Amino acid sequence: MLQVKSLTKIYDGGVKALDNVSFEVPDGQFLAIIGLSGSGKSTLLRCINRLVEPTAGQILWNGEDITAASQDEMRRIRRRIGMVFQHFNLVHRSKVITNVLAGRLGYVNPAWSLMNRFPKEDIEKAIQKMKRVGIADKAYQRADELSGGQQQRVGIARALMQDPEMILADEPVASLDPVLAHSIMTHLEDINKKDGITVLCSLHFLDLVHRYAGRVVALNEGKLVFEGLPKDIDDKKFKDIYGRDAERVG
Amino acid sequence: MKNKNDRKASPWKSIKVGLASLLVMVILAYGFQITKINLEELRSKQRQESLIRVARALAKPDFFEYDQVEEVINAPLFVPCLTDGSLPAMPNQTASNPYLVITPACANPGDTIQVEGFNFASKASGPLRFVPGNDPNNVVTLGRVNVETDSTGYFIASMILPDRQSTDMQYIRASLRRNIGLPHLTQTAHDTWDKIIETVFLALLATVFGTILAIPLSFLAARNLMKPVKSPLISISLSALGWPIGIALGFLIVREVGDISNAIGSNIWINLASVVVSPMLIWLGMRWAIPPEEINPPHLPIRLARLGVLLLGVLVGFYGFFQLASLTKIVGMNLRGALGSFGFLGNFLFQVGNIVALLTPVLGGLVAGGALGSFLGRIGQQGSEKLSAKGLKTINLFLTSIAGATILTLLGLLINWLYQIGNPLYTLWGPMAVGGLLGILLAIFSEAKEALPIGMVIYFITRTILNALRSVEALIMAIVFVIAVGIGPFAGVLALGLHTIVSLAKLYSEQVESIMSGPLEAVQATGANRLQTIVYAVIPQIIPPYISYTMYRWDINVRMSTIIGFVGGGGIGFLLQQNINLLNYRGASAQMVAIAVVVASMDYISSVLREKTI
C-alpha cells in the first residue's frame, strides 16, 4: 500500500508543482495518472522515489516513511521501485545488456560494480528479462542502435532487473507511435497482472487509460482533481481535468 | 510602421556616431604610437638587404650538403709593371693540370685584367682573389670575383686590380670547389631530428600525465555533479578532520610498509614472488570481504572482520607496489646494459620503478585520507539522522571549531613554509584561533540538521584554482620548473603537464556539465550510489568528447613544446633559439621546417583519430 499524504512540491523558482496531493494505491493496482503537460505528473512520480525532494507532506509505502528515509535507506527503497521514462533514458553508448544490468546497481556491491563485474546470476537474469520483453537478440548492440520501441523495452527490462514491487512509468509511450504504445502498455499490463507489481503510470491518451488502468487520479496545476475508475470520467470531469476548451478525441 | 520613430535619424544620434568614430580614431592613433608602427623602417636600404639575406637563408634550410673538393691555383703577376719590363714566368701549359692565364701579366692598380682558367674540373665554382705580397700561400687576400667553369673546365673573368703596389711578384688565386658524390644530411639535420623526436615525446608525456590527472579534477569542477552533493555540518567537519589525519597516517604507514619491503630485500626472486602473490591475496580477500550482493546488512562483528581484511588487503597491495617498483628497477637496470640500442626500454622500466616507489606513499596518503574522510563523513551523516537537534548543535560547536582550526592551521603552516614568516603568532596560533572561531560561528548560525551545499563549495574552490593556474602561461611555468629540475625536457614535461591538467580539467568539466541528465536520473532511480552513477551514466557519455579534447590538447602541446625550449624546457626550441642568436638562419630554417611538418602531421593524425573514435 502506497499512501501519499498532503504532498507539496515548490521548485526553487517558486513554481508550485504539487499542491497538497493525497491518495492511496493498494498493492497490485494499475494506477493511471492523467493531466495536462505541466500539471505535476512527472514531479509526483519523482517524489515517490525521491529523485525530486518533496517540500512538504509524507509518502508511506507499506508503513515505511519514504520522505524521511536516510541516504542508505533510500538506496534500499529505490531498488525496489522500478522506473520507466518517456525518453527511455538509456545510456546510448553502452551495450543493451549493460543498460539492463544497471538495474542491479542498487543490489550489487558498489566495489564490484565499479569494475563492471556483475554476479553470474544477474547476467542470466538480465538475459531472461530481455527475452521476456523480446529484445534478447539485441543484447550486445549499442543502445542507440535500437528503435524507439525497442529502447523502451530495454527500459522496462532494466526496471524488471530491480525485482521491483512497484514500477513508476513516466509517460512511457508518449514518444512512441500508437502501435508501439499498445505493445509497451501490454508489457506493463503483463507485469502488473502476472507479477502483481503495482504500476503507477502517467498517460496522455484517455483510450489507453480506459484500456489498461484499474484506477485513475488526475492532476490539474498540481491539484488532485479526480480520483476514481476510468469509466467515471464523463464529459464534465473531462473538462475539469483538461480545461474548458478541451475536446475529446480518443 | 510601429518603429517609425525609432528609425528616424535624429541629430543627436548622428553626433553620437560621430563622437564614437572620433574616439575610435584616437584610440587607433594612440595604438600606432604605442606599438611604434613605422613603415619608413622598411624602406631603409640596410634593413632591406638584411631582410633579403635572411629570407634567402630561410629559403634554403640546412638539411643536405655535398662533400666538396677544392682546387687552388695561383698565377703570378706584377702590380705595377716592372721598369725593366720583365714578366712573370708563364705557367706550365699542359693538357691535364689546371692553370691560369692572366692578360696582361702586369698592370697598374685599378686596371682591369682578364683571367682565364684551363683544365679545371667542370661545373666547379668559387672565387678569384688577389693575393698580395711575395707569398703564394698568403691567407690574406683582396677582392673577390666569383667564377664558374663550363663543362670543359674553362672559365674567363675580368678583375679590377686593387691598389697594392709592390716590386715583388704578386698572385691571382682561383679556389674552385665542386661537389662530389651524393648529397647527405648535415649535422644540423641530425640535431634537428633528435630534438624534434624529443619534442614530440615531450608533448606526448605531458598530455598523458595531464589527461590522467585532469579526469578526476573535472568531476569536481562540474556543476551538475557537485550541486546535489550536500551534507550536514557534522558530517562535513568530521570529513574535514578525517582527510588530513588520514593523509598523514596513510603516508606514514605506507612508508613503513616501504621500509619493510626494502628490508625484505631487492632480490629478483623475492620481488617476483611478492608481485605474483600479493594480488592473489588481495583478490581472495576482496572475494571474501566484498560479497557481490547483500540483501540485508550484516552484523557488526562480520563487518569489522571484513573491514580488517580489507585494510590488510590494502597494506598487502602497497607492499606489492613497492615490490613491483623494486622488481622493475632491477629488471630495468639489467636490461639497460643487455638490450644495446633498445636500452631505453630498460631505462624506462627503471624510471617507472623509481616513480612507483616515490609515488606509492603519496598514493597511500590519498587513499587513507579519502577512506577516513568518507568514513567519518558517513558516521556524521548517521549521527545527524539519529541525534536530537540540540545535542547535534553541541557536538557541532566542538567538532566544527576543531575542523576550522585544523584547516586554517594547515594553511598557516603552508604560508609560513612559503614566505618564511617565522612568527608562530601569525602562522600558527592566529589561524588556529580564527579557524576555531569561524567554526563556532558556522555551528551557531547553521541549522544543525540542514544539509549544507558542500559540493558547491568544493566546486568553487576547484574552479578558482583551475582558473588561476590556467591563466599562467606554460612558458612561465617552464621557467619555474627549470629552476626546480634543471634545464632540459623534463622541466618542459612538468610545465606542459601542469598546464594540460588545468586546461583539460576545465574543458572536460564543461563536457560533464553538458551531458544528458536522463540516464543519470535513470541510474539513480535504480538505487545506485554516487560513484556508480558516475561510472554507469556519466563516463559512457563523456568518452567521445574527452578523447577529442585530449587529441586537441596533444596538438596544442606539440606546438607549445616547440617553443618551450626558449626558456630551457627542452625540445627543438632550444636549438631554434640558439641558431637565431648565432644568426645561423639556414639552421633555424631547418628547424622551422621540421616544426611545420610535425605540427601539420599531428593535425592530420589527430583529425583522423578523432573521426575514427567518435
- pLDDT tens per residue, range B243-253: 999 999 999 99
Find residues 176-235 of chain A whose CB sits inside 8 Å of chain B.
none
Q: Are A151 and A172 in contact (CB under 8 A)?
A: no
Which grid cell is A203?
A: 498517460
- The set of residues, in sequence order, having a beta carbon less than 8 Å from that of A152 and lying 6+ positions away, is A84, A88, A172, A173, A175, A176, A180, A184
Which grid cell is B467?
A: 582558473
DSSP assignment, residue B450?
P
The CA distance from A51 to the nearest CA of chain B, in Å, is 7
Gyration radius of chain B's alpha carbons: 39
**Chain B residue at shortest CA distance from A92:** B541
Of the candidates B286, B524, B537, the beta carbon closest to that of A91 is on: B537
Find residues 143-182 of chain A whose CB sits inside 8 Å of chain B.
155, 158, 161-162, 168
**Using the beta-carbon criterion (under 8 Å), do A105 and B385 form an inter-chain contact?**
no
Of the candidates A91, A118, A162, the beta carbon closest to that of B519 is on: A91
ipTM field:
0.92
Instruction: Compute how many other C-beta atoms are within 10 angstroms of the C-beta atom of residue B488.
Output: 18
Which grid cell is B577?
A: 633559439
Find residues 45-74 of chain A whose CB sits inside 8 Å of chain B.
49, 51, 70-72, 74
The CA distance from B480 to the nearest CA of chain A, in Å, is 39
**Using the beta-carbon criterion (under 8 Å), do A51 and B521 form an inter-chain contact?**
yes
**pLDDT-derived band of residue B293, with 50, 70 and 90 as boundaries?**
low
Q: Please report residues of B whose CB lies closer than 8 A to that of A119.
A: 292-293
Please list the residues that pair with A21 across neighbouring strands.
A7
Mean pLDDT rounded to a whole number for chain B: 85
Q: Are B313 and B319 in contact (CB under 8 A)?
A: no
Q: Please report residues of B whose CB lies closer than 8 A to that of A112.
A: 290, 292
Of the candidates A49, A71, A87, the beta carbon closest to that of B525 is on: A49
> pLDDT, tens digit, for every residue of B510-564?
999 988 889 999 999 998 888 899 899 998 889 888 888 888 888 888 888 888 8
> pLDDT, tens digit, for every residue of B193-212?
888 888 888 888 899 989 99
**Using the beta-carbon criterion (under 8 Å), do A94 and B293 form an inter-chain contact?**
no
Which amino acid is it at B9? A
Q: Is the pLDDT of residue B176 over 90?
A: no
Instruction: Compute how many other C-beta atoms are within 10 angstroms of the C-beta atom of residue B549.
Output: 22
Domains of chain B plus CATH, in order, are 69-185 (2.60.40), 186-220+472-614 (1.10.3720.10), 233-386 (no CATH)
pLDDT, tens digit only, all 250 positions of chain A: 899 999 999 998 888 999 999 999 999 999 999 988 888 899 999 999 999 989 999 999 998 899 888 877 888 899 999 999 999 999 988 899 999 999 999 888 887 888 888 888 899 999 999 999 999 999 999 999 999 899 999 999 999 999 999 999 999 998 888 888 999 999 999 999 999 999 999 988 888 898 999 999 999 888 998 898 988 887 778 887 887 777 766 5
A129 lies within 8 A of chain B by CB: no
d(CA A213, CA A230): 7
d(CA B535, CA B543): 11
**Using the beta-carbon criterion (under 8 Å), do B522 and A83 form an inter-chain contact?**
yes
Please list the residues that pair with A83 across neighbouring strands.
A168
Q: Are B512 and B534 in contact (CB under 8 A)?
A: no
- The set of residues, in sequence order, having a beta carbon less than 8 Å from that of A72 and lying 6+ positions away, is B382
Q: Give the orientation angle of helix B585-613 with respect to helix B45-59, to 10 degrees.
A: 50
**Chain B residue at shortest CA distance from A49:** B525
- Residue B71's H or E segment, with its range, is strand B64-77
A113-122 contact pairs (CB < 8 A, 24+)? A113/B532, A113/B535, A113/B536, A114/B531, A114/B532, A114/B535, A116/B535, A117/B292, A118/B292, A119/B292, A119/B293, A122/A161, A122/B293
Sign of CA dihedral B348, B353, B354, B356: positive
**pLDDT-derived band of residue B1, with 50, 70 and 90 as boundaries?**
very low
> Where do we find the cell 590538447?
B553
d(CA A72, CA A227): 34
Interface A-B: count of C-beta contacts within 8 A: 109
Q: Are B337 and B227 in contact (CB under 8 A)?
A: no
SS3 (DSSP) at B388: coil
**Chain B residue at shortest CA distance from A52:** B521
